[in-house]
Amino acid sequence: METGNDRARVFKEDGFAKVGQLLTADEVDTYREIYDRFLSGAIVSGDKRSDLGSHVGERDGGRENITQIMWPSALYPALREMPLHERALDMARELIGQDAVLDFDMLIHKDPHSDVATPWHQDMAYWIDLPDTRAASIWIALDDATPDNGCMWYVRGSHELPLRPHRPTSDGRNIECDGSENEPGATAVPLPAGHGVAHAGGTLHSSRGNTTDHTRRAYILNYRPAAMVALERAQGADHGLNENVRKVRNSDATTP
């Protein structure tokens, strides 16, 4: 059985690591019900809701190609008191240190047959420069995640290399960099519902479009050292809490 030390070692070496089951089947059902209220608009998201696949044009019916909702726990504060936030925080502290705190959370959803891939990117490209780059993004599957419906793909070891140059997508609403499932170290990480995988801020990743008959709901919680969250906020960086604009902010991601 993999121990916490094993997970922390794999996370440090590879830039990602499976974190096991974080939600029971009954808890998954509860989170799905809340998640679907976000998708239907019963919980209003306002400008926190956007389309990660907007560069391919609008879908019939006006639905997003890839629905992203930033800060669900700010829009629906009860989420903060539910099991996932506590368990994910414990996992983040195991992976990056006891000073880890929640920085932000988000939902990323792929409808059946939406078939739009998430552009390759490294999360750090979105973030301001920080002296301590420790971060853990914990990606939890609320449905069985497979390559065909959009499980995560990571490039092993990419977090140890310089950030790749990032650019705006063709419509200017998101960012992307060059990446491929065929490059060395590229690894798909299928997950059962309720299980999670964590990745570092510099880990190159993507996911395929959903070509199946089933939905793919994912909840992502991001953690970093408390001092770095305080530094971000002091510089006005809050990951879309006040202004949800997606652009390259890290200077290391702007230099070819």
What would the pLDDT profile of 232-247 be if each residue is shown by its tens digit? 999 999 999 999 998 9
Q: Coil, strand or helix: which one is 15? A: coil
Predicted pLDDT of residue 99: 98
Our CA dihedral for 43, 48, 53, 59, rounded to 10 degrees, sits at 50
Q: Phi and psi at residue 105, in whole multiples of 5°?
A: -135, 165
Q: Percentage of the chain surpassing pLDDT 70?
A: 98
Q: What is the pLDDT of residues 97-130, one digit of tens each?
A: 999 999 999 999 999 999 999 999 999 999 999 9
Tell me: pLDDT of 60 over 90: no
Q: What is the pLDDT of residues 167-215, one digit of tens each?
A: 999 998 899 999 999 999 999 999 999 999 999 999 999 999 999 999 9
Measured distance CA(191)–CA(84) in Å, rounded: 16
Residue entry with tokens 């959009």: 150
pLDDT at 63: 86
Question: Which residues in 122-230 belong to E strands, given as ranges?
Answer: 136-141, 152-155, 167-168, 175-176, 186-189, 195-199, 205-207, 216-225
